[in-house]
Amino acid sequence: MQLHHWQALQGSRATHGTRCSGTVICTRRNSIPATRHGQQVIRRAYVEPGDVKAWHKLDCKHVVEAQQFGPEALHAIFAEAAQMEKVKPGTAEAKVLDGRVMATLFYEPSTRTRLSFESAITHLGGTVLSTESAGEYSSAAKGETLEDTIRTIENYADCIVLRHFQAGSAKRAALVSSVPIINAGDGPGQHPTQALLDVYSIKKEIGRLNNLKIGMVGDLLNGRTVHSLAYMLSMFEGVKMYFVAPKVVAMKEEIKTYLTGKGVEWEEVDDLNAVASDVDVLYMTRIQKERFDDMKQYTAARGKYIIDTKVMQQLRNDAVVLHPLPRVDEIAVEVDDDPRAAYFRQAKNGLYIRMAIVKQCLLGC
């Protein structure tokens, strides 16, 4: 049995467990096991997942990175999300998570992600324990480790939605948690639920995921959304990716190497107008000021690429513009009224995807 690449973070925890399925190793941290909803809780740690298509069939699900999902899992999640769009207050479906509690633990600022997750469980009858600015207002300010925080909060909630400033933090949390961990963004690492809603939006807007051309624009070095999106789109046939970014925030080499290994065609391009005329999706991101140590580099990168009416004139009539939001000035406000500007529809899809994810995570544990 080969351990997943998370083994380095896991240490000796997995080696003393007993295998309980093909995808997890069960371990007990204490001699007295925890209980949840009247049932014994066994802690789970990752091993090599093998058939990633089976994520939606796992008993206990964490959402940590985009590579966890295969086409079959995406189909199941998207089908569930489509049903979530139909949920009405007072119906049986609106009570399916009655009695379940979600903790949202956010060490970095968020509007759409935190509120859409909290809205998601509320729409399904659950409740929320919420903290933002956790680094300042939680025990992390006293020096508590992330692992200890997770081991405490798991006693109060049935799942934990985590946003953290360090890449890899969601993996660390998942390795010690007895409840599902959902990665809501780990620094410059990944944002898998954003990728899910992005791909769901592309499917709804364009009508296909194969033979797709997408231009990713802006901060591709620090933008966790484009990292997860690139990984997720790599599973589809005939996808070509254009990377349009200032050199200081170019796409990570490890992601380009991964795409090449998967046979995905990609190209780094300077001319935004040329890319706009050729793609199905123009995916814009902001230059992330908070990730820069040198403000001169930030100033040089900001404003180099802006989607305005001139760029929209180059965009095909059947193409769309997406943006994970928030925006600063990289998409002109006058673009908002263009029917091809799909970023607010995209944000709405985030509610349905997160309803689907939360439901599948909680009903499986």
pLDDT digits (tens, 9 = 90+) for 33-53: 444 554 444 444 343 344 455
- Catalytic site includes residue 291: no
Is 29 an annotated catalytic residue? Answer: no
Same-domain status, 221 and 341: yes
- Catalytic, out of 16, 88, 142, 296: 142
Higher pLDDT, 189 or 23: 189
CATH number at residue 226: 3.40.50.1370
pTM of the model: 0.83
Catalytic residue of the set 27, 113, 193, 225: 113
Cβ contacts of residue 325 below 8 Å, gap of 6+? Answer: 112, 343, 347
Residue 204 and residue 171 share a domain: no
**Domain co-membership, 341 together with 356:** no
* pLDDT surpasses 80 at 22: no
Candidate list 61, 191, 286, 359, residue with the active-site label: 191
Q: Could you tell me which of 188, 198, 218, 245 has the C-alpha nearest to residue 331?
A: 218
Catalytic residue status for 227:
no
pLDDT of residue 105: 94
Looking at the structure, do residues 201 and 343 belong to the same domain, yes or no? yes
As a whole number of Å, the CA-based R_g of the chain is 20
Same domain, 42 and 81: no
The least confident of 21-30, 58-67, 139-148, 231-240 is 21-30
Q: Judge if 108 and 183 occupy the same domain.
A: yes
Q: What is the mean pLDDT of the chain?
A: 83
The pLDDT tens digits of the residues spanning 251-292 come to 999 999 999 999 999 999 999 999 999 999 999 998 876 766
Q: How many domains does the chain have?
A: 3
Ordered alpha helix ranges (H), 96-168: 112-123, 134-137, 146-153
Q: Does 112 participate in catalysis according to the annotation?
A: yes
Cα 139–Cα 17–Cα 63 angle in degrees, nearest 5: 55
Same domain, 25 and 141: no
CA distances from 299 to 121, 248, 295, 296 (A): 40, 11, 6, 5
Same domain for 341 and 206: yes
Residue 2 reports pLDDT greater than 80: no
Q: Residue 176 above 70 pLDDT? A: yes
Could you confirm whether 113 is annotated as catalytic? yes
Question: Same domain, yes or no, for 356 and 334?
Answer: no
Mean pLDDT for the stretch of residues 198-204: 98
| Between 55 and 351, residue with greater pLDDT | 351
Residue 218, both tokens: 């802006």
The least confident of 58-67, 114-123, 167-176, 209-218 is 58-67
- Residues 123 and 136 occupy one common structural domain: yes
Point out the catalytic residue in the list 112, 151, 213, 240: 112
pLDDT at 287: 84
Of 43, 123, 163, 172, the active-site residue reads 163
Q: What is the pLDDT of residue 5?
A: 34
Per-residue pLDDT, 12: 31
pLDDT tens for 160-171 read: 999 998 999 999
Residues 275, 262 share a domain: yes
Co-location of 37 and 143 in the same domain: no
Domain span holding position 198: 193-347
pLDDT confidence band for 138 (50 / 70 / 90): low
